Amino acid sequence: MSKVGIIANPASGKDIRRLVARGTVFSNNEKINIVQRILIGLAWADVEEVLFMPDTFSIGRKALNSMDGDPCLPYSVEWLDMMVEGRQEDSTLAASLMKERGVGCIITLGGDGTNRVVSKGCGDIPLLPLSTGTNNVFPYMMESTTAGMAAGLLARGEVEQEGVVFRTKRLDVFINGSYRDMALVDAVVYDALFTGSRAIWDVSRLKQIVTTWCEPGNIGMSSIAASLAPVSITDPRGAYLKVGEGGFSVMAPVAPGMVEAVDVLEHRLLDVGEEVEVDFKPAVIALDGEREIVISAADQASIKLTDEGPYMIKPREVLAEAIRKGLFTVRD
């Protein structure tokens, strides 16, 4: 049976960067509209079952209620049997349960942070991430109708994964020799003693930046590395920056509506498997734009580039392959 999972984060697109920068506000009502268009795309692809993560705003239920009786939704819909606590762990658990239920792919609504926690539970299930966050390097900016069509075609096996699904990189964080957490886009050593409001934007507090990929057009801390030497998402390398005076300055869009000059003391590319020592302590390590790990002066911390990130769908390539196979052609 063809199944697709949907994880819509009600908290994405609402952090403090709406106050200190000019981040887009993604209301939950707009997420409901996005989910409705996904469902229509999935129906077009004849998906048989859709699994939703329940959430504190009931995004999926409200999307379906407003489409009640719509003849274009022939599939069954189910909400995962799980406790909802309004925390990051909800998305991780939902992804794990969807994997157990055998979904062909998972569509996410969120930013880099949402996809980071989803990737902790999804295993080898490919993601189709749609942008509704603040830092949106990892997810796609694309119309959700066509995203649903692509996800449905892949879940049904109408398009094979080869050539349209690839594995991403990630950054593993180790504290005192033990694995602690991970990031999909960037890990930043930040001059702070507590997580606080979590989001980072003050470039004067940046100390070290490690990124899996950094392309022109990126937003957030990875954009600083992109302004020096772009690295694509499929390139088996990453980048490292040490921030400080004595080198040179680079201009970068560090947050929506914020283009800042950043002093760079050191910059180099990293090979997969290479590890960077954290040399500024005490500090906080921010993962994909959010402060997550507090390290003391006595802690030994490092950040390692790996090629073991989640699998990701190329939706436009899925649709192109479907067109080549004649799946969009209606014949008498």
Please give the residue that has the higher pLDDT: either 19 or 92.
Answer: 92
Query: Is a pLDDT exceeding 80 seen at residue 35?
Result: yes
Question: Is the confidence at residue 18, as pLDDT, over 60?
Answer: no
- Provide the β-strand partners of residue 6: 52, 107
Query: So what's the pLDDT on residue 19?
Result: 45
| Whole-number average pLDDT of the chain | 92
pLDDT for 13: 56
- Nearest Cα to 91, choosing from 117, 127, 126? 117
Average pLDDT estimate for 39-68 = 92
The answer to which of 12-21, 142-151, 185-194, 231-240 has the lowest mean pLDDT is 12-21
* pLDDT at residue 73, rounded to an integer: 72
Instruction: Please tell me the distance from the alpha carbon of residue 322 to that of residue 151, in angstroms, as a whole number.
Output: 12
Residue spans in the chain of domains classed CATH 2.60.200:
170-306
Question: CA 309, 314, 319 angle in degrees (round to 5)?
Answer: 160
CATH 1.10.3470 fits 170-306, yes or no: no
Rounded to the nearest 5°, which phi and psi values hold at 112?
-60, -40
**pLDDT (tens digit, 9 = 90+) per residue, 152-207?**
999 999 999 999 999 999 999 999 999 999 999 999 999 998 876 678 878 999 99
Listed residue (288, 91, 310) closest to 173, CA to CA: 288
Taking the C-alpha atoms of residue 261 and residue 247, their distance in angstroms, rounded to an integer, is: 13
pLDDT band for 84, please (50, 70, 90 cuts). Answer: very high
Rounded mean pLDDT, 114-128: 97
Residue 261: in which H helix or E strand, if any? strand 258-271
Question: What is residue 197's predicted lDDT score, i.e. its pLDDT?
Answer: 64
Classify domain 3-167+310-324 by CATH number.
3.40.50.10330
pLDDT at 100 over 70: yes
pLDDT at res. 291: 92
List, for residues 201-249, the tens digit of each pLDDT value: 789 999 999 999 999 988 899 999 999 999 999 999 999 999 999 999 9
pLDDT in tens, 55-83: 989 999 999 888 876 666 767 899 999 99
- Please write the tens of the pLDDT for every residue from 294-306: 999 999 999 999 9
Q: How far apart are CA 303 and CA 65, in angstroms?
A: 45
In the chain, ranges of CATH 3.40.50.10330 domains: 3-167+310-324
Cα dihedral 275→173→277→205 (10° resolution): 130
Structure tokens at 25: 């506000």
Q: Is the pLDDT of residue 132 over 90?
A: no
Q: Check whether 135 has a pLDDT greater than 80.
A: no
- In sequence order, what E strands does 1-144 have? 3-8, 49-52, 76-79, 105-110, 127-131
DSSP helix/strand/coil, 219: coil
Phi then psi dihedrals of residue 193, to 5 deg = -110, -5
Kindly indicate the confidence band of residue 123, based on its pLDDT and cuts at 50, 70 and 90: very high
